[in-house]
Every structure is written in C-alpha cells, then in structure tokens.
Chains A and B, each alone.
Chain A
C-alpha cells in the first residue's frame, strides 16, 4: 500500500526567506507525485506535478527515487504563499493518497 509522509505540520518563515516542505513516500510501483495547495477560503487545487517538471508560482519539486522524496521548495517566500500544502501520490489503481499536510505561514 502507498503512504505519503509530511513530517512538518507547521512551517513559519519570513518573507523573502527560502522555504522547503518535506514529503516522503513509499510505493512499490512507479510513483506519480503531486503537490496540492489550499489557500484560505479557497478550494484545494493542484500546485504542480513531478512529471511536468515545471516551476509554478516560484515553487519547484524534484522527485528523488533513491530517497523516495518529493520536497517542495521556493527560494524566496511571499506572504501570498501562506496556505496548506499537501503532497499526494497517484497509484496504479487510480487513487490519489494525501499526506497529512503542512501549514505554511509567511511572516512580513
């Protein structure tokens, strides 16, 4: 069975500082990993996918199969990045499993 672990429940950084959200997974197949974000009073939405290897809103995430990690990074955090972030894994049986989530607060 798949498992997604986000060890940090809360993360607080100053504006302009780097931010890194950790995500580790366990899955026997070939993983497809995502980061979803939920801003205050908004719906849960996709932030980025590992397959697309793109930067969204300054965030990047690299899949490291050796370390089974998919950490989310941004070099300079902005106040509008304050949100709840979920790491998620899509498995071959067509299910999306979520980590516990990390609440990010960016302080001025």
Chain B
C-alpha cells in the first residue's frame, strides 16, 4: 500500500499565524483526504482533494480557513490559516489505497499546538 510522509510532524504556532502541512505519497493516487482529530475526539473529515479540481469541503470547514492544494497525483498541502487555540489538533492526510476496497492509508499526522 501507499506510504505517506507528512511534514511537519508537530509544531507550536502563535495565534493569528498560518501553517502549511505537506503530504507526500510514494505512488500516484486519485483521492486524498484531510482529517482533523481534536484532543480526545474522533477523526473529522475536513475535505477531499482530487488532482486538477477544487477541494470539496465538509460542512463546518471553509476554503478561506483551510486552503488546500493538490498540484499532482502524489502531493497535497493543507494550510491552517489565522490560527486560534481551537485549531490545536492533529491533522492527518490519507489516501485511498486504490485497490477498489475503499480502504484508506493514513499519514502519521501533524500535531499543531496554537498558543
């Protein structure tokens, strides 16, 4: 299955700043997903990123706050803009394994702490 590298693995950010998380996959994938896991909570889908089209955002998430790029079939970025302490979370990149089994492979996550 695909191997996903996410950067940064963790960061401490100041309120009001923005941070971009990178997701690199070792193979070409059609669908990439960005999830958020707030402290003590489950994973919530932020958006689906397909190459060559605008990302599709879930209810409660907007492009201005979480802009996503998907320049090719192996890479995507998620930016968390104008951060506040409520944005402190683990952000996970995932991809469909492409086996037709609807199974997702996950990155290790990026743990952001906003002060």
Q: Chain A residues in contact with chain B, CB under 8 A?
A: 32, 34, 43-46, 49, 51, 86, 90, 94-101
State whether A90 touches B102 (Cβ < 8 A).
yes
Residues in B with CB closer than 8 Å to A49 are 101, 103
Which residue from chain A places its CB closest to the CB of B101 in the assembled complex? A49
A98 and B92 in contact, given A43-B107, A49-B101 (Cβ under 8 angstroms): no
The B interface is mostly helix, strand or loop, or mixed, namely strand
Q: Chain B residues in contact with chain A, CB under 8 A?
A: 31, 33, 41-45, 48, 58, 92, 94, 101-109
State whether A96 touches B106 (Cβ < 8 A).
no
Return the contact of B48 from the options A45, A95, A97 (Cβ within 8 A): A95
Return the contact of B43 from the options A32, A34, A90, A98 (Cβ within 8 A): A98
Known: A96-B33, A96-B45, A101-B42. 8 other contacts (CB 8 A): A43-B108, A44-B43, A44-B92, A46-B103, A49-B103, A98-B42, A98-B43, A99-B42
State whether A94 touches B106 (Cβ < 8 A).
no
State whether B45 touches A45 (Cβ < 8 A).
no
State whether B41 touches A100 (Cβ < 8 A).
yes
Q: Chain A CB within 10 Å — which of B41, B42, B48 has the most?
A: B42
